[in-house]
């Protein structure tokens, strides 16, 4: 069984981004970039499916700039067999990403497509759902446990009130939530080996997909600052402030 994993290059989750002075966007010059944390979880799940003998081939795909090769190499160091970079320097919204991924799904015919639940840059949380709509495949988002049983997958999902279990027909699109697994780190010898693995570079045009978006960002601003608070030196002082100053208790 083939598993496709979608991997996005984003700002590292430890970086506190700043807005550019001209308010056109956030400033990503000289900022550390990494694999989207939810994609790391998706890759880890794919690797575990292979280790369990459920998956036989793992293919990673990324849409992004040339440098996104770094994230694909990381995925291959972790156990992905080969990868595809759909190279573009343009902004790719979730609908366009889903359209491109749908073409890859058509070409590769995976049984399972693993994606992250959310990009930590746009905070969109859309691609998995859109991809499964466009391909007509079943959808299991926010997965915290995945069990493949024959031609079905049983997926435990993190929902607002707790956990829900659904069963989806394969092939299916599954999006990884935080507690699906704990991703491992790549080992040096595997990083070396990954350099020799196959990485095909394509363009959006190769798939006949237009990247134009009907969503335009007019402005990007910093959030409203909270005014600086104070330190209190005792529980008594805190209670006094809450009662008499903030008047919230």
Partner 1 sequence: MSILVVAEHHNSELAPVTANVVAAAKAIGGDIHVLVAGEACQAAADAAAKLDGVSKVLVADKPAYAHQLAENVAQLLGELGKNYTHLLAPATVNGKNIMPRAAALLDVAQISEIISVESADTFKRPIYAGNAIATVQSSDAIKVITVRGTSFDPVADTGAAAVEALAQDTDAGLSSFVGEELAASDRPELTAAGVVVSGGRGVGSAENFELIYKLADKLGGAVGASRAAVDAGYVPNDLQVGQTGKIVAPQLYIAAGISGAIQHLAGMKDSKVIVAINKDEEAPIFQVADYGLVADLFEAVPALEQQL
Ligand X SMILES: Cc1cc2nc3c(=O)[nH]c(=O)nc-3n(C[C@H](O)[C@H](O)[C@H](O)COP(=O)(O)OP(=O)(O)OC[C@H]3O[C@@H](n4cnc5c(N)ncnc54)[C@H](O)[C@@H]3O)c2cc1C
Ligand Y SMILES: Nc1ncnc2c1ncn2[C@@H]1O[C@H](COP(=O)(O)O)[C@@H](O)[C@H]1O
Q: Pick between residue 120 and residue 153 the one whose CB is nearest to ligand X.
A: 120
Q: Does 31 bind partner 1 (CB under 8 A)?
A: no
Which tokens hold the place of 14? 């430890």
- Report the partner that residue 116 touches, choosing among partner 1, ligand Y, ligand X, none (CB closer than 5 to 8 A by kind): ligand Y
User: How many residues at the interface with partner 1, by CB under 8 A?
Assistant: 80
Which tokens hold the place of 100? 């491109």
Could you say which residues in the range 30-69 bind ligand Y, by CB under 6 A? 36, 38-39, 42, 62-64
- Write down the residue that tokens 């799940």 correspond to: 45
CA distance 211 to 90: 8
Which tokens hold the place of 32? 């550390």
Which tokens hold the place of 151? 């031609």
CA distance 90 to 130: 20
Exposed/middle/buried for residue 207 (C-beta within 10 Å: 0-12, 13-18, 19+): middle
CA distance 247 to 239: 10
Interface with partner 1 (CB under 8 A), residue from 62, 71, 83, 94: 94
Cα distances (angstroms) measured from residue 226 to each of 4, 6, 27, 94: 43, 37, 22, 32
Nearest to 153 by CA among 176, 125, 130, 119: 176
Interface with ligand Y (CB under 6 A), residue from 122, 152, 170, 190: 122
Smallest gap from Cβ 120 to ligand X, in A, equals 5
Position of minimal CB gap to ligand Y: 116
Q: Does 186 bind partner 1 (CB under 8 A)?
A: no
Q: Pick between residue 87 and residue 177 the one whose CB is nearest to ligand X.
A: 177
Smallest gap from Cβ 155 to ligand X, in A, equals 20
In this chain, which stretch among 22-30, 124-132, 157-165, 219-227 interacts with ligand Y, using CB under 6 A? 124-132
- Give the footprint of ligand Y on this chain (CB under 6 A): 6-8, 36, 38-39, 42, 62-64, 92, 94, 97, 115-116, 118-119, 122, 124-128
């Amino acid at each position: 069984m083939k598993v496709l994993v979608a991997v996005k290059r984003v700002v590292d989750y430890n970086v506190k981004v700043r807005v550019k002075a001209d308010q056109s966007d956030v400033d990503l010059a000289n900022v550390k970039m990494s694999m989207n944390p939810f994609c790391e979880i998706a890759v880890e799940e794919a690797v575990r499916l292979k280790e369990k003998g459920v998956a036989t081939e793992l293919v990673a795909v990324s849409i992004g700039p040339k440098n996104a090769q770094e994230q694909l190499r990381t995925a291959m160091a972790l156990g992905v067999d080969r990868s595809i970079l759909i190279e573009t320097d343009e902004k790719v919204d979730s609908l366009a990403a889903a359209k491109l991924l749908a073409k890859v799904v058509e070409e590769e015919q995976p049984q399972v497509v693993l994606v992250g639940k959310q990009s930590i840059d746009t905070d969109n949380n859309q691609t998995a759902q859109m991809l499964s709509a466009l391909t007509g495949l079943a959808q299991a988002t926010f997965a915290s446990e995945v069990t493949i049983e024959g031609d079905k997958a049983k997926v435990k999902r993190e929902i607002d009130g707790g956990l829900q279990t659904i069963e989806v027909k394969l092939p299916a699109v599954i999006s990884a939530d935080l507690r699906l697994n704990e991703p491992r780190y790549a080992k040096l010898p595997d990083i070396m080996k990954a350099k020799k693995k196959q990485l095909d570079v394509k363009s959006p045009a190769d798939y006949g997909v237009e990247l134009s978006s009907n969503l335009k960002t007019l402005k990007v601003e910093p959030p409203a600052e909270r005014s600086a608070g104070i330190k209190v030196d005792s529980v008594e002082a805190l209670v006094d402030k809450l009662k008499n100053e903030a008047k919230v208790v």
